[in-house]
Amino acid sequence: MTEAVTIARDGEIAIVTIDNPPVNAMSFHVREPLMAALTALRDEPSVAGMVLACAGRTFVAGADITEFGKPMQQPELRDLIAALETLGKPAVAAIHGTALGGGLELALGCHFRVAEASAKLGLPEVKLGILPGGGGTVRLPRLVGPLKALDMIVSGTPISAKDALANGLVDAVVESDLVAKAVAFAREQAKSGKPAVAVRDRNELIAHADLAAFDARAAELAKKARGLEAPVACAESVRNALTLPFDEAQTKEREIFAKLVAGDQSKAQRHLFFAEREAAKVPGVGKDVKPRDIARVGIIGAGTMGGGIAMAFVNGGIPVTLLEMSREALDRGLGTIEKNYAISVSRGSLTEEAKAKRMAAFTPSTDYADLANCDLIIEAVFEEMSVKKEVFGRIKAVAKPGAILATNTSYLDVNEIAASTSRPQDFLGLHFFSPANVMKLLEIVRGAKTAPDVLATALAVGKKIGKVPVVVGVCHGFVGNRMLGARGAETEPLLLEGATPHQVDKVFTDFGWPMGPFQMWDLAGLDIGWRNRKAQGKKAIIADTLCEQGRFGQKTGRGMYLYESGSRTPTPDPEVAALIEEKAKELGIERREISSQEIIERTFYPLINEGAKILEEGIAARASDIDMVWVNGYGFPIGKGGPMFWASLEGFGKIVERLDYWHARTGKDIFKPAELLRKAAETGKLADAAA
Ligand code: 3H9
C-alpha cells in the first residue's frame, strides 16, 4: 500500500502529496501523517514554502463521510488547518479535480490556491444535511464576500476554477503542469519576503458587510429550504462570520455542525448519498462488464413522454431519431420540444445558439427504416400490450444486431414484450417519469433474459443523461407505481369515513411531500385515472363521480378542489364535501373524526409494507434502491431519506403492530405485514433480498 502522505522537495519548496484513493477523503489515516508532515516542515529551516497537492483523479473531495457518527479521532481537520495557517511560510494548495467540503476547507487553510482550469470548488455539505464544519462558513466569506459565500454554501453547488478566480477564491488558474506552477508560485511568495497572511486574518470583505442585503438573500434562500434544517443553519453560520470575531464564529460553526450531524435529517441525507452509489452496483453486473456504445438513440412516439425522453437524450449530448406515425404528429411533437427550449432561453438557462444546436440533434422520421443506425431504440407509444408488440415487430425488422430495444411501459409485463422480439437478451424496460426531461428517476426494468452488458449500458447512459438509474425487476407497476398503488388504496375510504381532501393532503405536506395525493390527482388530471380504471374495470367512487361531472382537476378549474380564475392554488370546495357525505350515506358509512396519525398509518404504512414485499420478491435488490426511487421519482422528502429509511426511524415494531391492527379491522391485503417487515421488527434491521 502506498503512503497516504508523502513529502518531496523541489529546492527550498516542499511538496506534500495526499494519496487516498478514490477521492482523497480526509480519513484518519490521512490526517495523522499530514499533521506529522506539517509539523516537520514548520520546524525545518531549509524549507521556505510548501505546496499541498493530491495524487490520483482529484484534490481532497471532503471529510471522510463514513467516519461521521463515530467518535472523531485526533487530529481533526481544524487542527490541520490551524497547522497550515501557522506554518510560518507560504502554503499553496494545488487543486485539480474537485476541492469539495473539507477539501476546500483545507485549501482555505493554505495562504494561496492555484487551480487547474478544469477544477471545481465548493462546499456541498448542505446536501449531506450538515454545514461545513472545518471553518468553511467563516473563511469563505473572507475571500469571496458574504453574498457569494452564502450562495455557494446554501446551494452546495461547486463553482468552476474561472469563477473561483474571478471571485478571489483562487489566486491563479493554470492549463497544465499544476504542481510545477504551484511550486513556482510558492517560491515567488517565499522570495518576496512578504508575510503570508492567513485567510482568517483577511477581513476586508466582511468588515462592512451589508447585513440587510445579506438577510434579504438569506430569507429568499430559506424559503426554498422546504423543511430542511441545514440550509438555514448554513446561512446562520455565514452571518456569524460577519458579526462575530473569527474564533467565536468558528466555535459556533462547530456547535451547529455537531447538532446537525447527529440529527435524523443528516443521517437521511448521508444514507441517500451512499444509496445513490450503491444503486449503481447491480448483482450480476460486475465491473468487468463493458457497456455497449450508444451514439444514437431512436425514440418511437413524440407525445409528452416520447418528446420528454428525446429531450433528455439530446440534453445529455446523444442525438435522437424521433419517429411518429404521421408528419402532423411529428410536427406537433417537435413543436412542443421547441417551445420547451424557448422557455429555457427566455429564462436565461439556455442560449439561442445552444437551442439551435439541440434542435438540430433531432432527426424526425415517419419511416421505421430510419432506425437502422440507432444503438438504442425506445418505444413510448400507447400503453397497450398489442400496440407495443406491433411496434416491436416493426423495430425487429430494422434494428441492427446488438442494438438495445427498450419499452417505456409503466405497468405492462416486460418479459412478455421481450419474448415477442425474439432477442430478449437485448431487451429491457426504461421507465422514465414525466416530465422525462426534468425528472431524475429512471427505473431500469431487468427482464428475465436481459444481458448483463445491456444493463451496464442502461446504467451508463442513464448517468450520462443526468438520471438516477435504479435497476428493478418485473412486476405490475415495478417498484414506484406498485408502491404508489398501496399508498393510494385508502385515500378514498379515508374521505368516505370522515377525512377531507385538504386534511389528507395537509398530513402529506406537513411531512414534507411537495403535495398531497388529491392535489396530485388534480394536477395530473382526474380523467387519466378514470380512463385507466375504466380499461381495467375498476371504480373510484368519488373521483369517478367528479369526472362524470366534467371535473378533471386543474385543467378544468375544478376537481377535488376549486381553482378560481386559472389559479393553481387549491381551494376546498363545499360541493366536493357534500358529494363525499352523500356517497358515504349511500354506502351506509358512518363518518367520524379521522386523526393525522390514522392517515399516516393507512397511507404511509402500506407504502412501506409494499416496499418490504418488493424486497422479499427480489424486485428491488436493496431497501436503499427503493428509497432512491421514491426520493427521485415521487417527491418523498429527502430529509426523511426515503420510505424504507424513514421506516427504520419510525420503528419497524410500531409499523407492524399498526398494520396488524388495520389488517384485523379491514381484512385488506395492503395491511398484511410482509414477513420481512416482521423480521425487521424483531431485529431492528430490514434485510435486503440479496442478503
Ligand atoms: C465534509 O467535508 C465535512 C467537513 O466540512 C467538516 C468535517 C469536520 N467520504 O461519487 P463517486 C466514495 S463532508 C467517503 O462514485 P465520482 C463514494 O462513496 C464531505 N467516501 O465518484 C464511492 O465509494 P464506492 C463533503 C466518499 O467520480 C467512491 O468514493 N464532500 C466520499 O462520480 C467514488 O465516489 C462531499 O460531499 C467522502 N467524502 O464523483 C463530496 N466521497 O466506490 C462527496 C466519495 O465504494 N463526493 N466517496 O461506491 C462527491 O461528490 C463525489 O464522490 C465526487 C467524485 C464528485 C468527489
Q: Which atom of ligand 1 is nearest to the CA of 127?
A: 36
Q: Does any ligand 1 atom lie closer than 6 A to the CB of residue 277?
A: yes
Residue 237: other Cβ atoms inside 10 A: 25
Band of residue 493 on the pLDDT scale cut at 50, 70, 90 = very high
Closest CA to 93 of 118, 117, 111, 81: 111
Q: Which atom of ligand 1 is nearest to the CA of 134?
A: 6
Q: Which entry of 105, 253, 276, 324 is annotated as an active-site residue?
A: 105
3-state SS class at 317: coil
* 16 CA distance to ligand 1 middle (Å): 22
- In the chain, % of residues over pLDDT 90: 93
* 71 CA distance to ligand 1 middle (Å): 20
Q: How far apart are CA 233 and CA 238, in angstroms?
A: 9
CB contact set of 560 (below 8 Å; sequence gap of 6+)? 501, 518, 519, 521, 522, 526, 542, 543, 546, 553, 570, 573, 576
Q: Which atom of ligand 1 is nearest to the CA of 105?
A: 5
- Residue 553 per-residue DSSP state: B
Q: Does 239 have pLDDT greater than 70?
A: yes
Q: Does any ligand 1 atom lie closer than 6 A to the CB of residue 25?
A: yes
pLDDT, average across residues 459-465: 97
pLDDT of residue 690: 47
Q: Does any ligand 1 atom lie closer than 6 A to the CB of residue 73?
A: no
Q: Which entry of 76, 85, 116, 125 is annotated as an active-site residue?
A: 125
Q: Chain-centre distance of CA 342, in angstroms?
A: 26
* 458 CA distance to ligand 1 middle (Å): 23
Q: Which atom of ligand 1 is nearest to the CA of 64?
A: 9
Q: How far apart are CA 540 and CA 521, in angstroms?
A: 12
Q: How far apart are CA 47 and CA 510, in angstroms?
A: 59
Closest CA to 21 of 73, 97, 85, 79: 97
Q: Does any ligand 1 atom lie closer than 6 A to the CB of residue 637?
A: no
Q: Which atom of ligand 1 is nearest to the CA of 100?
A: 30
3-state SS class at 663: helix
* 132 CA distance to ligand 1 middle (Å): 14
Q: Does 89 have pLDDT greater than 90?
A: yes
Q: Does any ligand 1 atom lie closer than 6 A to the CB of residue 156?
A: no
125 as an active site residue: the answer is: yes
Q: In Å, what is the CA distance from 509 to each residue of 20, 220, 232, 433, 502?
A: 43, 20, 19, 21, 10
Predicted confidence (pLDDT) per residue in 265-291, tens digit = 999 999 999 999 999 999 999 999 999
Predicted confidence (pLDDT) per residue in 647-688, tens digit = 999 999 999 999 999 999 999 999 999 999 999 999 988 876
Band of residue 1 on the pLDDT scale cut at 50, 70, 90 = low
Q: Does any ligand 1 atom lie closer than 6 A to the CB of residue 209?
A: no
Predicted confidence (pLDDT) per residue in 13-62, tens digit = 999 999 999 999 999 999 999 999 999 999 999 999 999 999 999 999 99
Q: Which atom of ligand 1 is nearest to the CA of 128?
A: 36
Q: Does any ligand 1 atom lie closer than 6 A to the CB of residue 287?
A: no
* 593 CA distance to ligand 1 middle (Å): 48
Predicted confidence (pLDDT) per residue in 402-461, tens digit = 999 999 999 999 999 999 998 999 999 999 998 999 999 999 999 999 999 999 999 999
What is the distance between the terminal CA atoms of the chain, rounded to a whole angstrom? 31
Q: Does any ligand 1 atom lie closer than 6 A to the CB of residue 194?
A: no
pLDDT of residue 688: 67
pLDDT, average across residues 367-383: 96
Band of residue 689 on the pLDDT scale cut at 50, 70, 90 = low
* 64 CA distance to ligand 1 middle (Å): 7
Q: Does any ligand 1 atom lie closer than 6 A to the CB of residue 230?
A: no
105 as an active site residue: the answer is: yes
CA-based diameter of the chain, in Å? 93
Q: In Å, what is the CA distance from 114 to each residue of 52, 60, 108?
A: 10, 14, 11
* 61 CA distance to ligand 1 middle (Å): 6
Q: How far apart are CA 461 and CA 194, in angstroms?
A: 52
pLDDT of residue 600: 98
Band of residue 691 on the pLDDT scale cut at 50, 70, 90 = very low
Q: Does any ligand 1 atom lie closer than 6 A to the CB of residue 66?
A: yes
Q: Average per-residue pLDDT in the chain?
A: 96
Contact present, 456 and 285 (Cβ < 8 Å) = yes
Predicted confidence (pLDDT) per residue in 296-318, tens digit = 999 999 999 999 999 999 999 99
Q: Does any ligand 1 atom lie closer than 6 A to the CB of residue 49?
A: no
Band of residue 545 on the pLDDT scale cut at 50, 70, 90 = very high
Q: Does any ligand 1 atom lie closer than 6 A to the CB of residue 549?
A: no
pLDDT of residue 532: 82
Our mutation pick for probing the ligand 1 site, out of 54, 59, 65, counting the most ligand atoms within 8 A of Cβ, is 65
